[in-house]
Amino acid sequence: MLTLWGRTNSPNVQKVLWLLEELALPYRRIDAGLQFGRVNDPDFRALNPNGKIPVLEDGPVVLWETNSILRYLVMQHGGPMGAELYPQAPAARASVDRWLDWQLSTLSPAERVMFWGLVRTPPAERDWAAIDASVAASATCWRIVEARLAAAGPFVEGPRMTLADIVLGTLVHRWFAVEVEGRPDFPALRRWYDALHARHGFRRWVGIPLT
């Protein structure tokens, strides 16, 4: 059976949990990270020398880095559903991959301070200048996704959901779930976000209160 290490309020772990639900794969999960510790224990460091979650074990296969785990799951265990989520044609697959890379390189860094500042920092300790800058940077990113959805929707890559929707959809929940003053109105983004709630895996693991 697959084993996933990580706490359920980590967006990187949530991505994997959502995909596991989409693929109807059995797994067990072990709490790790923040209040659960474990990430500095020798047995965990043997799995991931970076000391970060998530980590996936599949028999002798051990993987870290969330988006690599997603790719592995759809290719190794995905079947027909996996081929839809991560198409095999080179151009179609590269188009999905660019969103996975962009999420890591651009979107997540833009949104991180907003999330940590508004969700995981006490009000008296918040750096509002940094939070405002993060909100503005996040809006710039989501404007790109808004334009993509308006042109190609209903999903990021067109008529069918792909891994692009999982990696971006996990983070769009932060955008809509936090109280942000003067947040831009992105109607296509909102329609997509609302549509993601129809997915059981999204409702169970992603569309929940932020902590």
Residues 149 and 73 in one domain: no
Residues 169 and 99 in one domain: yes
Asked whether residue 208 is domain-assigned, the answer is: no
Q: What are phi and psi of 56, to 5 degrees?
A: -115, 135
> What is the C-alpha to C-alpha distance for residues 40 and 42, in angstroms, rounded to an integer?
6
Percent of the chain with pLDDT over 70: 100
Residues 138 and 194 in one domain: yes
Model pLDDT for residues 26-57, shown as the tens digit of each residue: 999 999 988 888 999 999 999 999 999 999 99
Q: Which of 65, 83, 101 is the last residue in one of the domains?
A: 83
DSSP state at residue 107: I
Residues 193 and 100 in one domain: yes
Give every CB contact of residue 145 below 8 A, 6+ residues apart in sequence. Answer: 156, 168, 172, 186, 189
Asked whether residue 205 is domain-assigned, the answer is: no
Residues 29 and 112 in one domain: no
Residues 45 and 100 in one domain: no
pTM of the model: 0.95
Residues 97 and 156 in one domain: yes
Q: Residue 54 is part of which domain span? A: 2-83
Domain count, the chain: 2
Model pLDDT for residues 175-186, shown as the tens digit of each residue: 999 988 878 989
Asked whether residue 35 is domain-assigned, the answer is: yes
